[in-house]
Amino acid sequence: MKLVFLGPPGAGKGTMAGRLSEEKDIPHISTGDIIRGAIRNQTDLGKKVKEIVEAGGLVPDDLTISLVEERLGKSDAREGFILDGFPRTIAQADALKKMTSLDRVINFQLDDEEIVKRLSGRRVHKASGRTYHILFNPPKTEGKDDVTGEDLITRPDDTKQSIEKRLEVYRNQTAPLISYYKEEGILTDLDSSPSPDAVFADLLAAVS
Ligand code: AP5
Ligand code: MG
């Protein structure tokens, strides 16, 4: 099963990709997680893109395209994958088309007001990318990751200013991919406003 999760920031792509990846035993490939890992490890790529990412801008296409090409080349992605947060521009979608076929693109839908609520309460386990919400999806112990017990953090791009920028970038550069994949006949809209369990049930139905 080769899937792309498309949608605005905070729509629940990462949360649902994590659950579906476990359920279907296919890798969850989040370019955001890969890029944040590079920033944390202070690699050349990480140093180059830190400021862009924290301000809510897009990393240049050539960098994200080669990241994804390398990741999809690994053996665990041969039978299937969930691409979360890639592609985000038409150029990335064109490049992806040359790398692999896709079975379905899930278009997560959520309005701006709800997006802001979700992002401002989000907490993340840095090392794994596991994601919580202080109200909607709290960890078992406040401020601690359920699995490792380590501290949870707020993402540096979850500030008011950066959220606004990410929404603007989404509208201008990523939303055109909705009609791109609609024309290919592989787009499924998913209302992301219900509870996590309800969204997951709809997602399972959409990919079955
Ligand atoms: P990325 O990490 O992809 O961020 P994003 O697209 O802004 O999306 P988010 O991760 O913020 O949201 P999400 O949809 O995963 O929501 P989540 O599940 O966490 O990218 C970050 C940056 O990296 C970009 O800005 C860019 O700089 C760079 N980048 C990445 N990919 C790139 C690319 N291809 N090209 C160029 N640059 C790239 O959920 C949000 C919150 O809601 C959580 O707290 C969660 O617990 C909660 N929640 C989830 N579902 C529900 C529900 N159903 N009900 C209630 N709460 C819920
Ligand atoms: Mg995410």
Report residue 152's pLDDT band, with 50, 70 and 90 as the boundaries.
very high
Report the DSSP beta bridge partners of residue 107.
6, 189
Instruction: Give the residue, out of 13, 124, 130, with the most ligand 1 atoms within 8 A of its beta carbon, to mutate for a pocket test.
Output: 13
Domains and CATH numbers, the chain: 2-207 (3.40.50.300)
Is the confidence at residue 85, as pLDDT, over 90?
Answer: yes
| 11 known ligand binder | yes
Confidence of residue 5 (pLDDT cuts 50, 70, 90): very high
What pLDDT is attached to residue 66? 96
59 is annotated as contributing to ligand binding: yes
Distance CA 156, CA 160 (A): 10
User: 6-15, 20-29, 126-135: which has the minimum mean pLDDT?
Assistant: 126-135
Per-residue pLDDT, averaged over 133-160, amounts to: 95
The catalytic position among 118, 123, 130, 166 is 166
Span 175-187, mean pLDDT?
98
**Residue 164, phi then psi, degrees to nearest 5:** -60, -45
Residue 81 near ligand 1, beta carbon < 6 Å: no
- pTM score: 0.96
How is residue 22 written in tokens?
A: 């476990």
Phi-psi region of 7 (alpha: psi -120 to 50; beta: other; left: phi over 0): left
- C-alpha 121/C-alpha 49 separation (Å) is 25
Q: Please, how many CA atoms are within 13 Å of residue 192, restricted to the half-sphere of its CB? A: 26
Strand 104-109, strand 122-124: pairing: unpaired
For the stretch 57-84, pLDDT in tens is 999 999 999 999 999 999 999 999 999 9
Task: Give residue 93's pLDDT band: very low, low, confident or very high (50, 70, 90).
Answer: very high
Residue 129 is predicted with a pLDDT of: 86
Helices (H) and strands (E) in the chain, counts: 9, 7
Please tell me the distance from the alpha carbon of residue 153 to that of residue 80, in angstroms, as a whole number.
Answer: 31
Which percentage of the chain shows pLDDT scores above 90? 97
Is 155 labeled as catalytic in the residue annotation? yes
Q: Is the model's pLDDT at 163 over the cut of 90?
A: yes
Q: Is 88 labeled as catalytic in the residue annotation?
A: yes
